Amino acid sequence: MSGNLKSWTSLRSDKMDLRIVNARVVSPENGELIRVNVYVEGGRIKAVEPSEAPLREAFQEIDAGGDVLFPGFIDPHVHFDDPGFTEREDFETGTRSAAAGGVTTVIDMPCTSIPPVTTGESFENKLNIVEPKAYIDFALWGGVTPQQVESGEYEQTLENLKQKGIVGVKFYTVSGMDLYPGMTVSCMDKAFRKLKELNLVCAVHAEDFHLVDYYSNLMQENGRYDPESWCEGRTYEAEPAAIWSLVGITEKVKNKLHIVHLSTKAGLSIIRCEKAKGLDVSAETCPHYLLFNSEDFKKMGAILKIAPPLRMEEDRLGLWEGLKDGSLDFIATDHAAGVYPGEKNHPNIWKNYAGIPGVQTAVPSMLTFGYHTGLLSFLDIQNLMSRNAAVRYGLYPRKGTLAVGADADFALVDPDREWALDPGKLETKGKYSPLAGEKFKGKVMKTLVRGEVVYEDGKGIIGQKGYGKFIKCDL
């Protein structure tokens, strides 16, 4: 009896849960496409073998038909608004949208929840609400407010949040949110010191408060309600000015700094220069800054309203260079859905919601306008949209790689499939996109999370609600 059991056990372990045959993967060394078979067991990658190697047995098979198998994409900057602003988005619709876009892990922001994630209790509250709704895996950002710093309680709240497994802390130099106000220099200096002690990344929305406050009010006092007034109010120099202050504090404190949704070439120059000096600063930009400029905003209006605003063509082109030369570390979407059309159709630009839901369109956008234009290679896309964020935020090598032992998270992509975007069919609650009607080349055919297919082209979402897991930062 025991002998039988033993042989059954070894047989069982020889046969894999899943094999993906005929896939092409991008070599992390040289970017070449290699034809492989990938084996999955227990939700993890068990083996990656050349396609000529003898096939191993598996209970299930996916024939990739030569499509490109990327490690699951990671969107490190999303606002899924849960709990608190679920008329805009919730964790169910947000993670469904991610799955349909080839994204297998999102990192959700702390500020667009009620209450914001600024204490261990609010973290637990959010986790209990969102985890049962998740279709894909997720990590969480923590937060801190100026009130917490001024009262001194921030030292304890940040320690608690670190223990819970946040990837880092996000705050604003200028904020439009009553529950999550912007930070002063003295608060930032103190928070940076604590975050350095905790070895946590500090991500900052960088626009100078005084510049944005004065010029935004001036525009409205002068009766300016056109899209251009949004750009002029959130004046260009506000971003480099804030980044300059932040890197100055970081030079003194030596903390890990991250600049979110970079929009200007001037801001990029500072980051490039500070990186060369060895400062621990990283930065991201978003598809909308790579694909649109302020002229597009003038024509399209509220649908492209975002903060910071879209900038000039030379900024847009500069950001592509930043992706190529390593000054920018990754592409994030800043996915933020407004109620559509209600929050996106006011004739006064100042009264519209600032946000674009991008988690589902980011990968096809970068294939179409990055890869097929020759601006990015597959390896660039793999690094900028998966590996680099995993490394920066302590999710690597569990996420962000096809190495043996990693979670079996995959996006299977047909890089040449052509299709057109109908925003009405997006999984997000915000069924709008500045890319509406756009022709794409490159499509996500399947998304797998820990070895389970959660999305399939033609079938839609086939994963289970609540399957997605919270992934703790390992820094």
Going through 296-360 in order, the beta strands assigned E by DSSP cover: 330-331
Q: How far is the CB of 224 from Zn ion (least distance, A)?
A: 25
Question: Minimum distance between the CB of residue 232 and Zn ion, rounded to whole angstroms?
Answer: 22
Asked if 332 and 260 touch (Cβ cutoff 8 Å), the reply is yes
Q: Of 176, 180, 64, 173, give the one whose Cα is nearest residue 118.
A: 180
**Smallest gap from residue 307 Cβ to Zn ion (A):** 9
Any contact of residue 108 with Zn ion (CB under 5 A)?
no
Residue 201 CB, shortest distance to Zn ion, in Å, is: 15
Whichever of 354 and 448 has its CB closer to Zn ion, that residue is: 354
Strands (E), 240-339: 256-259, 281-285, 330-331
Q: Give me the 305-344 binding string for Zn ion, x by CB under 5 A, dash otherwise.
A: -----------------------------x----------
Q: Which is nearer to Zn ion, 334 or 380 (CB)?
A: 334
With CB atoms as reference, the residue minimizing the distance to Zn ion is 334
Cβ atoms 132, 155 nearer than 8 A = no
Question: What is the closest distance, in whole angstroms, from the C-beta atom of residue 180 to Zn ion in the complex?
Answer: 11
Tell me whether residue 92 or residue 334 sits nearer to Zn ion (CB atom): 334
How far is 343 from 345, CA to CA, in rounded Å?
6
Count of other CB atoms within 10 angstroms of residue 352 = 20
Judge whether 101 and 428 are in contact, CB under 8 Å: no
**Residue nearer to Zn ion on the CB measure, 110 or 415:** 110
Q: What angle do CA 146, 213, 78 make, to 5 degrees?
A: 60
Output b/e per residue, 433-462; b: 16+ Cβ within 10 A: bbbbebebbbbbbbbbbbbbbbbbeeeebe
CB of 109 to Zn ion, least distance (A): 5
Q: Which is nearer to Zn ion, 337 or 471 (CB)?
A: 337
Nearer to Zn ion, 190 or 261 (CB): 261
Question: Could you give the string, one character per residue 12-51, with x where binding to Zn ion holds by CB under 5 A and - elsewhere?
Answer: ----------------------------------------
Give the 3-state secondary structure of residue 124: helix
CB of 150 to Zn ion, least distance (A): 24
How many residues form the binding site for Zn ion (CB under 5 A)? 1
Return residues touching Zn ion (CB under 5 A): 334
